Every structure is written in C-alpha cells, then in structure tokens.
Amino acid sequence: MQTQETTRPIVSSKAKRSRTKRQFLRDNLVLLTLTLPALLYFLIFHYLPMFGIIMAFKDFKYHLGIFGSEWIGFKNFEFFFLSNDAWRITRNTVGYSVLFIGIGTSAAVTVALLLYEIKNRFALKYYQTTMIFPTFLSWVLVGYITYTLFNPSLGVLNQVLSFFGADRVDWYANPAYWPYILTAVNVWKTIGLSCIIYYAALMGIDSELYEAAKIDGANRWQQTKAISLPSLLPVITILTILAIGDVFRGDFGLFYQIPRDVGMLYPSTDIIDTYVFRGLRQGNLGMTAAVGLFQSFVGLVLILIVNSIVRKLRPENALF
Amino acid sequence: MTKRSLSLRNPVFWVHAFFILFSLCFLIPFLLIIAISLTNEEEVLRGGYSLFPFPLDFTAYRVVFQNPEQIIDSYLVTTFQAAFGTIASVFIMSLCAYPLSRQSFRWRGPITFYIFFTMLFGGGLIPSYILITQYLNLGDTVWVYILPSLANAFHIIIFRTFFQGLPYAIIESAKMDGASEWRIYFQMILPLSKPVLATLGLLGVLARWNEWFTALIYIRSESLYTLQYLLQRILLEAEFIRQMASEAPTGIDFGVFTVPTETVRFALAIVAAGPLLVIFPFFQKYFARGLTIGSVKG
C-alpha cells in the first residue's frame, strides 16, 4: 500500500492496471485462506461420505473395505423394497411428519393466539418460560419423563387408571397407543418454540387495525378471525412448506428414546432413521446404505420441489 | 388500557385458567422427577412414582455421591467437547463467512454453493460411519464429538447474512490504512458481531451439552461417555437389573442388599442435567432468537 502511494505518479496506466489486478488477486487469495478450514471440513465430512454411497451398490464387507467389496448393482435396493419393512418405515416416517405438521402447527397457532390475549406482563413471561423449557431438554431426559408416565408397574398413568378402577395398560407392548403418545410428546417438546415464532408475528401487527375493528363493533373473536389469523397466514404457509421439504426425515431422538427401542412397538414407531441405525448395529451395511441413499435422494427431490413452490409464492423466502 | 376485573364473565379469566393448567403440563414432569429422586426406594416400588416424596429419603443421592467417578468423567467429557467444540466451530464458521460476505470476493458464488449443497444432499449415516471409524480412526476418541460437527452450512449462512449488514465503509477504511484481512476479521468483524456470536455460540453449547447420538454410535469406553449418554445407559440398564431381580427365585430378600435402582436413576438425572437446566432459561432470549432464525430465514 505504502509503495503504491509513493510510486503512483511515475507508473504508466498499464502497469498500474496490472498492479491493481495483482492486488485484487492477492486480496482474493487471502480471503480464500480464511475459508480453507471450513472448506476442508466440508470436503472430509460431507463430500467424502457422498462418494461413500457407492456402498449402496456393493456387498459391503468390513475386511474388504469400500473399494474391495463386490459390486452387486441394485440388489440392496431390491432386497429392501421387496421386504415388508420398506412400506412400514416409509409410511411411518411420512405419516408422522404430516401428523406433526398438522397438529403441531394448529396447536402452536392456537396457543399463540391465546397468549396474545394476555396483557399481564408477569403472567405472560411465566407462561412463555414454562412452555419453552422442554426446548432445552435432550430426548434422553424427555425419555425419563415419559418413562415415569408409561412405566407399566410404577408409572403415573397406570396409577391413575387403577385409581378410577380401570385396567392397567402395558403401554410398551401395544403399538396402537404410540401414534398418540409420540404426537403428544412431540407437541409438548416443540410447542414453546413455534409458539414464540407465531407470537412474534402477532406482535408485529399494527394495533390500529384492532382499534378500527373495535370502532366497527367487532368483538375479540371477530378480530381474531379477521385480523390475527390472516396476519399469521404467511408465516404459517412458509413454515409448513419448509417442513414439507423435510417429511422424509424423522427426529431420531423422539423415535428412539421415547419408545425405548422396544421391538414390539416397531409397527408404529419404526421410521427410516431408526431403521438405518439398527441396520448399522446389526452390521447389514450395504442394504442400510441403500436405505440411506433412498432417504437422501427423496429428500433432495422434495426440497427442490418445495423451493420452486416457495419461489413462486414468496421469492424472498426461497432457499435458493 | 382500562383495568378490568377478572371475573368469570371475562373471557381473559378463562384464558388465564387455560394457561395455568397448560403450564402445569410442563412443570409437573420436572417436579415428578425431583420427587422420585427424593423418595424412599421401597415406597416407590410399593406405591409407584409419586409427586409427593413421603417419607423424604436422601439415600439415592448418597449412593450417587459415593460413586462419583463416572459422573465426574462424564461431566469433564461433556464440558470439554461442549466448550472446545463450540469455540472451534464458531471460529471456523465465522472465519469462513466473512469472505463470503464480501462483494469483491471472487469465488463467493462457487464456495457458497459448495457449502450450501451439503444442506440438500448427504451420504447418510452409513458412509460417514465407515469413514470415521475405518479411515479416519476417530471412533471411540473424544475428537469424534468435535470434528464431525465442526461446521454447519446453515450457521455459516446466518453469519454471512449478519456480516453483510455491517457497515462496509469501516472495512474499506481499515483496508486503506493497510490492515490485513485477518486483522480486519479479528479486530473489527468479531467485536462488531457479538450478538450473532452469542446466539450461535449458545445454540452450539446447548446442542453439544445435550449430545448423546454421537456417543451412541461411536463411543465404547465408559470414560468417554457424555452425561446424556450416561443417563440413557442408566435408564436402560437399571431396568435390566430390575428384570433380573424379578426373575430371580423367590425367598431372597432384595430389599436391603441391592442398590436402590429406581430412585438412584432419577437422582443421577438431577445431578447430571439439573445445573444446566437451571442456567439455560436465563438465556432464553438468545435461544429464542437463534432458534427462530433457524426456522425463518432472514
């Protein structure tokens, strides 16, 4: 910089241009070095595993390694899609995602609208803090809580049932209960946070709208229907659409820690992610890698579709 | 606003009533776990889990504190990987995001795409597992907690967006004065970015403090367990002990000689998870901000 300062008057414009060009390149190289650690990280931990998906087309054996194992074409996929598991885990994964989007969103919006009616600052803070608490819990700790409720011999729910003279229920032996349990647990854990998002959107509404409605004689319910809900609609739409991009992925923690990996519950609790985990444990790597690739691929297609929809509806919210 | 009395006629009364019940759904589970850890073991086995710890009994905590080695190990491992992992990760991510925020950076587009693409597609668990255990030999080491989760494409994008909002003129003038890019990053960008550093740093600490998945997949040595994974093993294994006890021939008195597994399990949960659960809600504001930018872009 200093030399450039002093020599400026004598250099020709051509030399100056090549110097600024060189300077530009040098600046870019320095900036590039700042990104290098992260680039290296993504290369090793994200791009190398992408090449590892060739495992899905091989009969993987540990002692032969990825490159030494025998090519078997689409056999792994064939084996998976012809098994009963394929339909079960796909149905469960997508079904639960859709259930969580529907019930989770309606619950969060309802609670946010109710919270909006609370004007007492202390009460508001208290309600919000208790609701957000599960966000800080790991699924392991949520697993402790559900276990105190559902433990067949000591659990609270069975105590309540026998108090009212009803028969005790072995919750961990009957898959029929689990769609309800998992949905309730998921809503319990996530409602605090989504409620904050919707509440923030409500806080952004111009209060003059409500004043005007009041003058026109609208009651609170009419105001909610005509002002609050329509104002939330864009947020609801965008969050729902983004969630649809993720329907092929389940929360491993929820589906592993809460049903405690009990085999008898698999018909209603097994999702792609838990299935892949078990495949890893059992050493069935080639087939499991194929399932993982199936999940990644469908996930990619879904995100691309969802993004093109978002780009049409609300370009500023599009991912790319 | 005019002050209205809370009467049964007032709908706000019912909204409050709803929320008081609703907040109990979130409080009672915690009180329940605390209560169980303070109850006498025989009482629990006889009457089941109860919210009321009568008679009050600290045996479970005594058992926990008489055998603290595993808990101390897990506390150390968890704290190390949470602190070191978060610091290293926030450093690398913000370092990478700074050039991406600069309009003049020539390879901005391709690098952003290179990073962003990892959000769309991945090899999945199995290829990563083979890579980490067979080729990088990170299995069953403390580094497996840190290296594979060192950066997150979405957080880099959040950093970049924040940096783009910084006044470019001050960077320009620092460059005029001959400051290097590294110096600009350390002495200007970082100090100006405290809000986003705090938010993403806290999110990193929370995620790493609650870490059990990596341990489940990669860790075999008990000395390398994180707290959450230790808790998970205890929840499953104490049950295993109880199963063995109920299957043993009758006539042996387990009452006095066995470790009180039911209550100890919950006392451990309190000792392992309690302290941070008390601290985290104080940072609620930062978390809420971080987690909500996590869901709505911008």
**pLDDT at B290 exceeding the cut of 70:** no
Partners of residue A317 in chain B, C-beta under 8 Å: 296-298
Tally C-beta pairs within 8 A across A and B.
Answer: 264
pLDDT digits (tens, 9 = 90+) for A203-238: 888 888 888 888 998 888 888 888 889 888 888 887
CB of A129 less than 8 A from some CB of B: yes
Instruction: Please judge whether A50 and B121 are an interchain contact, meaning their C-beta atoms are less than 8 angstroms apart.
Output: yes
pLDDT recorded at residue B258: 59
What is the interface pTM, i.e. ipTM, of the complex? 0.85
Axis crossing angle, helix A178-203 with helix A121-132, rounded to the nearest 10: 140
What's the rounded mean pLDDT across residues B35-53? 79
Report the percent of chain B where pLDDT is more than 70. Answer: 87
DSSP for chain B reads -------TTSHHHHHHHHHHHHHHHHHHHHHHHHHHHTB-HHHHHHH-S-SS-SSB--HHHHHHHHS-HHHHHHHHHHHHHHHHHHHHHHHHHHHHHHHHT-TT-TTHHHHHHHHHHHHH----HHHHHHIIIIIS--TTSTHHHHGGGS--HHHHHHHHHHHHTS-HHHHHHHHHTT--HHHHIIIIIHHHTHHHHHHHHHHHHHHHHT--HHHHHH---GGG--HHHHHHHHHHHHHHHHHHHHHSPTT--HHHHS--HHHHHHHHHHHHHHHHHHHGGGGHHHHHHHHHHTTS--
- Residues A27, B181 contacting (CB under 8 angstroms): yes
**pLDDT at B227 exceeding the cut of 70:** yes
> In this structure, which amino acid lies at residue B281?
P
Instruction: Please judge whether B48 and A197 are an interchain contact, meaning their C-beta atoms are less than 8 angstroms apart.
Output: no
* Residue of chain B minimizing CA distance to A113: B15
pLDDT recorded at residue B239: 55
B207 CA: distance to closest CA in chain A (Å): 9
Distance CA B94, CA A279 (A): 37
Instruction: Please judge whether A140 and B99 are an interchain contact, meaning their C-beta atoms are less than 8 angstroms apart.
Output: no
pLDDT top residue among B57 and B93: B93
The confidence band for B240, taking pLDDT boundaries of 50, 70 and 90, is very low
Domain assignment of residue A137, yes or no: yes
pLDDT digits (tens, 9 = 90+) for B197-207: 988 998 899 89
Instruction: Please judge whether A277 and B125 are an interchain contact, meaning their C-beta atoms are less than 8 angstroms apart.
Output: yes
- Encoding tokens for residue B174? 């620092």
Distance CA B59, CA B47 (A): 18
Q: Which of A6, A23, A31 is the best mutation test for B, with the most CBs of B within 10 A?
A: A31
pLDDT recorded at residue A4: 43
Domain assignment of residue A138, yes or no: yes
The confidence band for B4, taking pLDDT boundaries of 50, 70 and 90, is low
**pLDDT at B91 exceeding the cut of 60:** yes
* Residue of chain A minimizing CA distance to B1: A119
The alpha carbon torsion through A137, A140, A145, A147 (nearest 10 deg) reads 170
| Residue among A46, A196, A252 whose CB faces B213 most closely | A252
pLDDT recorded at residue A52: 86
In angstroms, the Cα distances linking A20 to A1, A15, B108 are: 11, 9, 20
Q: Which of B63, B25, B153, B43 shows the shortest CA–CA distance to A130?
A: B25
Cα Rg, chain A, nearest whole Å: 28
Instruction: Please judge whether A239 and B93 are an interchain contact, meaning their C-beta atoms are less than 8 angstroms apart.
Output: no
Q: Which of B126, B215, B132 shows the shortest CA–CA distance to A284?
A: B126
**pLDDT at A319 exceeding the cut of 80:** no
Domain assignment of residue A285, yes or no: no
- Encoding tokens for residue B290? 């971080």
- Encoding tokens for residue A206? 């111009």
pLDDT top residue among B14 and A40: A40
Helix or strand or coil: residue A71? strand
- Residues B260, B60 contacting (CB under 8 angstroms): yes
Domain assignment of residue A201, yes or no: yes
Distance CA B97, CA B91 (A): 10
3-state helix, strand, coil in chain B (%, to 5): 75, 0, 25
Domain assignment of residue A60, yes or no: no
pLDDT digits (tens, 9 = 90+) for B123-147: 889 999 999 998 999 999 999 999 9
Instruction: Please judge whether A65 and B148 are an interchain contact, meaning their C-beta atoms are less than 8 angstroms apart.
Output: no
Instruction: Please judge whether A299 and B121 are an interchain contact, meaning their C-beta atoms are less than 8 angstroms apart.
Output: yes
What's the rounded mean pLDDT across residues B157-185? 87
CB of A153 less than 8 A from some CB of B: yes
Distance CA B31, CA B23 (A): 13
Partners of residue B100 in chain A, C-beta under 8 Å: 35
Mark which residues 67-106 of A lie under 8 Å from B by CB: none
The DSSP output letter for B147 is G
Distance CA A222, CA A204 (A): 19
For the domain that residue A219 is a member of, what is the CATH number?
A: 1.10.3720.10
Instruction: Please judge whether A127 and B23 are an interchain contact, meaning their C-beta atoms are less than 8 angstroms apart.
Output: yes
What's the rounded mean pLDDT across residues A154-180? 87
Instruction: Please judge whether B288 and A193 are an interchain contact, meaning their C-beta atoms are less than 8 angstroms apart.
Output: yes
The confidence band for B209, taking pLDDT boundaries of 50, 70 and 90, is very high
* Residue of chain A minimizing CA distance to B48: A154
Domain assignment of residue A24, yes or no: no
| Residue among A38, A135, A141 whose CB faces B156 most closely | A38
Q: Work out the burial of residue B277: count CB atoms within 10 Å of its CB; fewer than 13 is exposed, 13-18 middle, 19 or more buried.
A: middle
Per-residue burial over B60-72, b if 16 or more Cβ lie within 10 Å, else e, is: bbebbeeeeebbe
**pLDDT at B1 exceeding the cut of 50:** no
Report the Cα B206 to chain-centroid distance in Å: 3
- Residues A268, A176 contacting (CB under 8 angstroms): yes
Mean pLDDT over all residues of chain A? 86
- Residues A80, A86 contacting (CB under 8 angstroms): yes
Domain assignment of residue A14, yes or no: no
A65 CA: distance to closest CA in chain B (Å): 8
What's the rounded mean pLDDT across residues A141-145? 92
Domain assignment of residue A280, yes or no: no
The DSSP output letter for A78 is H
pLDDT top residue among A151 and A181: A181
pLDDT recorded at residue B90: 96
Partners of residue B45 in chain A, C-beta under 8 Å: 154
**pLDDT at A183 exceeding the cut of 60:** yes
Q: Work out the burial of residue B172: count CB atoms within 10 Å of its CB; fewer than 13 is exposed, 13-18 middle, 19 or more buried.
A: exposed
Nearest-5° Cα angle at A292, A174 to B96: 120
CB of A48 less than 8 A from some CB of B: yes
Distance CA A299, CA A309 (A): 15
Backbone φ and ψ for B39, nearest 5 degrees, come out as: -95, 155
Range(s) of the domain holding residue A149: 93-268
| Residue among B27, B98, B123 whose CB faces A53 most closely | B123
* Residue of chain A minimizing CA distance to B288: A193
Q: Name the residue with tokens 């341990």.
A: B215
| Residue among A32, A149, A154 whose CB faces B107 most closely | A32
* Residue of chain B minimizing CA distance to A307: B120
Lowest mean pLDDT among B82-96, B137-151, B174-188: B174-188
DSSP-assigned beta bridge partners for residue A58: A71
- Residues A269, A255 contacting (CB under 8 angstroms): yes
Cut 0.90: pTM above it: no
Helix or strand or coil: residue A58? strand
Instruction: Please report the domains of chain B, with CATH numbers, ordered by start residue.
Output: 11-67+233-271 (no CATH), 69-218 (1.10.3720.10)
Instruction: Please judge whether B277 and A27 are an interchain contact, meaning their C-beta atoms are less than 8 angstroms apart.
Output: no
Q: Which of A34, A163, A251 is the best mutation test for B, with the most CBs of B within 10 A?
A: A34
The confidence band for B6, taking pLDDT boundaries of 50, 70 and 90, is low
Instruction: Please judge whether A144 and B291 are an interchain contact, meaning their C-beta atoms are less than 8 angstroms apart.
Output: no
pLDDT recorded at residue B291: 62
- Residues A280, B129 contacting (CB under 8 angstroms): yes
pLDDT recorded at residue B208: 93
Say how many domains are in chain A: 1
pLDDT digits (tens, 9 = 90+) for A255-307: 999 998 888 888 999 999 999 999 898 888 888 999 999 999 998 999 889 88
Peptide bond into B55 cis (omega under 30): yes
Mark which residues 238-297 of A lie under 8 Å from B by CB: 238-239, 242, 252-253, 257, 260, 276-277, 279-280, 285, 288-289, 292-293, 295-297
- Residues B270, B33 contacting (CB under 8 angstroms): yes
Instruction: Please judge whether B231 and A144 are an interchain contact, meaning their C-beta atoms are less than 8 angstroms apart.
Output: yes
Most confidently modeled range among A5-9, B239-243, B283-287: B283-287
